Structure 1
């Protein structure tokens, strides 16, 4: 028989917290990507883009498993496979890194954005369904094909929008607004995917494990990525250019006529990708 499912076992606590974590990861990732594109940051670009990928990947993954704390199957035991759970985290970070590095080094041309967004979106969807495969349920999980495809489409659109925002939106408040929208898109992708799920119980009468035990496992898994997000937030907070949204960077001292050195200020930022004469 088909089991009764719920994604909101603890009410609004899990979806709201999951959304906030998605927003945090997106905000940090966008700001780090912007920082990698500023003048004078070329030698540190790999570091900033890596931090952006880790932030977005950890934010999405943490969102997923916080939301899964609220998932319950009436009459079925639910446990998690540790290896698959950690694999889903690795997939999230790696595929986000591919998208971020493509845009970070090749710019915001439509073909680059489309390719990077497709790879990143498919990776986010893969993270979601690997995380679902990590569940060990005393029953059979089934998926509605159309809703699964819809969730993948949402993931691709969300990823492409995030990458576009990273290279197009200037200023702290604009990036913050973009991260809030991205949080809605990523969380929406998760719950769209969950709407495709049904569970057929194989053996009636199986006593499910304590919800406290499941929550303890998920919280232990989430602790590491949350710590990484906190450290990334500290790094961003201690970079005044990121916090203030200042696009102007003082150039390196340059030799003037007569051999003296001057260190002037640039009156306007050089757009990303612009080559001087």
Structure 2
């Protein structure tokens, strides 16, 4: 029996939330990668890894938030915990491969193309691995042409994201690029879901036994971890002015920062030392020699203050 698929069980809530998470992961990842390109070489791997984890978590979170709205009317749905976690690992690792390639080799055509293909295929693998974690009382079937289209979209989206990661520096430009990335990743997901059909066995939900967990009992707690990670990465970005301002604005503000620091270095207050017989030695004052160089003068003796008897 052909199952009836509904990918929007909660209306626009899940697509919008999924899109926003993809944008958040993309924005944080882009800023972290920009920071790696502006930082010392020793810090570069850490920033690249943080950027890859942000983008990977954003893509994975987008996928499974969207899957919360997925249902088959004739059967219940369960999820395999191991495959679900494996899909998260795949998402982070394949994005990391692409990010490290362009982070160290630049965005040349060959390098960017190779990294985009690897990352795009990995993102598509994450999606279909996540779909393999879905258990229903039936079989999933996929339309090959639509699957191929979703893979092409994944490769194009990954290539564009990697190009933006090493080419876009300004904060507002990165924000715009992350919005486009969100559209591309979400579009890939829903294109891939359009390839799915379900052949239900027997009488539906009552005729099968599953060992997996229900969507709410598994996905909601699981989504909490990557979401918290993205929020923490956001805190890192917010408290790093170079990430927020971008290289151009940061360099423009350098003279003002130097002036501010110089103003804070106050001239030390003159110190009077006690001379013999109760007098005071006045502080030495610099004087200009014939070459305009300041040289300290000898300390001046000041008489002791008069005392009233």
State if a TM-score over 0.5 links the two structures: yes
State the Cα RMSD in Å.
1.8
Larger Rg computed on CA atoms: 2
CA distance in 1 between counterparts of 2:182 and 2:224 reads: 20
Alpha carbons of structure 1 residues 77 and 148: separation in structure 2 relative to 1, 3 Å: same
Counterpart in the other structure of 1:22: 22
Corresponding residue for residue 184 of structure 1: 183
Q: What is the Cα deviation at residue 249 of structure 1? A: 6.7
Q: Are residues 205 and 7 of structure 1, via their aligned partners in 2, closer, same or farther at CA, if it must alter by over 3 Å?
A: closer
RCO higher in structure (CA 8 A, sep ≥6): 1
1: CA distance, partners of 2:204 / 2:166: 54
Aligned to 1:223: 224
**Partner Cα distance (2:183, 2:40) in 1:** 31
What is the CA-CA distance between 1:42 and the residue it aligns to? 1.6
Query: 1:159 & 1:205 partners in 2: Cα distance?
Result: 38
TM-score (norm. length: structure 1) = 0.86
Gaps of 5+ in 2: 252-257, 259-309
Q: Distance in 1 between matches of 2:249 and 2:71?
A: 51
CA contact (8 A) 1:76 1:137 kept: yes
Q: Quick one: distance in 1 between partners of 2:59 and 2:9?
A: 21
Q: Deviations over 1:133-176 (max 9, x none)?
A: 00111001000000000000000000000011111122000000
Question: Pairwise mapping of residues 258-269 of structure 1 onto structure 2 (< 5 A)?
Answer: none
Runs of 4+ with deviation above 6 angstroms: none
Which digits, 9 at most, give the CA deviation of each residue in 1:215-270, with x for residues without a partner? 232111111111111111111111101111134777xxxxxxxxxxxx9xxxxxxx
* Secondary structure at the counterpart of residue 99 of structure 1: helix
Q: Which runs of 5+ in 1 are unaligned?
A: 251-262, 264-277
Alignment partner of 1:94 is 2:93 = yes
- Taking the aligned partners of 1:71 and 1:161, their CA distance within structure 2 comes to 28
2:65 and 2:225 map into 1 onto residues whose CA distance is 13
- Normalising by structure 2, we get a TM-score of 0.78
Contact 1:35-1:41 within 8 A present in 2 as well: no
Shift of 1:6: 0.9
